[in-house]
């Protein structure tokens, strides 16, 4: 799509070239196979030779055509036209979405990016809060430990008896 237009090929020239290729294919096939015309009943071996010669010439003919500048040029042109048609369809669909005020793909993509950034920021905030709470708990534990007095065994037994009596009173009531 560089702005140049190709003139359509002359049908007579196309027919002549096609006929020449067709004739060449069958002449080459006949030259490779030769000698079959004398046999009245074809043997399996002669049939295999004929099949192999035919497939060999057919594959060579296809290979020659697929590598030809005509075929590669037409294939390239078709691919370029396909890409251009896809672009035009995308533009047309974008215009249709805009006409009905539907968000475009770019709008949705940018919205998704914003939501992902927001999610990351919230997640990072929670992580910082967890770290801060853990550090506060550590500092409160360190301050609370020196303030506690060591308890003797007698005092611990006394406190346990008092707690048991209180529980017994609660259960009776």
In this model, does residue 3 exceed pLDDT 50? Answer: no
The string of pLDDT tens digits covering residues 53-101 is: 888 888 888 888 889 888 888 899 999 999 999 999 989 988 888 888 8
| Tokens describing residue 33 | 């196979």
Q: How confident is the model at residue 8 (pLDDT cuts 50, 70, 90)?
A: low
pLDDT (0 to 100) of residue 82: 95
Mean pLDDT, the chain, whole residue set = 80
| Tokens describing residue 120 | 């990351």
pLDDT (0 to 100) of residue 120: 95
Domain boundaries, the chain: 11-103, 104-147
Burial call 102-112: b when 16+ CB within 10 Å, e when fewer: eeeeeeeeeee
């Amino acid at each position: 799509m560089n702005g140049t237009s190709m003139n359509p090929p002359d049908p007579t020239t196309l027919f002549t070239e096609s006929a020449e290729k067709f004739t060449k294919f069958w002449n080459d096939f006949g030259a490779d196979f030769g000698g079959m015309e004398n046999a009245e009943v074809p043997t399996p071996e002669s049939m295999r030779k004929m099949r192999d010669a035919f497939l060999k010439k057919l594959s060579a003919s296809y290979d020659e055509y697929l590598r030809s500048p005509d075929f590669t040029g037409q294939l390239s042109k078709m691919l370029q036209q396909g890409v251009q048609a896809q672009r035009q369809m995308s533009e047309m669909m974008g215009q249709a979405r805009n006409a009905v005020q539907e968000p475009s793909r770019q709008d949705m993509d940018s919205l998704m990016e914003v939501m992902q950034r927001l999610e990351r920021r919230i997640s990072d905030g929670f992580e910082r809060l967890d770290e801060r709470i853990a550090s506060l708990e550590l500092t409160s534990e360190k301050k609370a430990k020196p303030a506690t007095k060591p308890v003797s065994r007698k005092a611990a037994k006394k406190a346990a008896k008092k707690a048991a009596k209180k529980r017994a009173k609660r259960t009776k009531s």
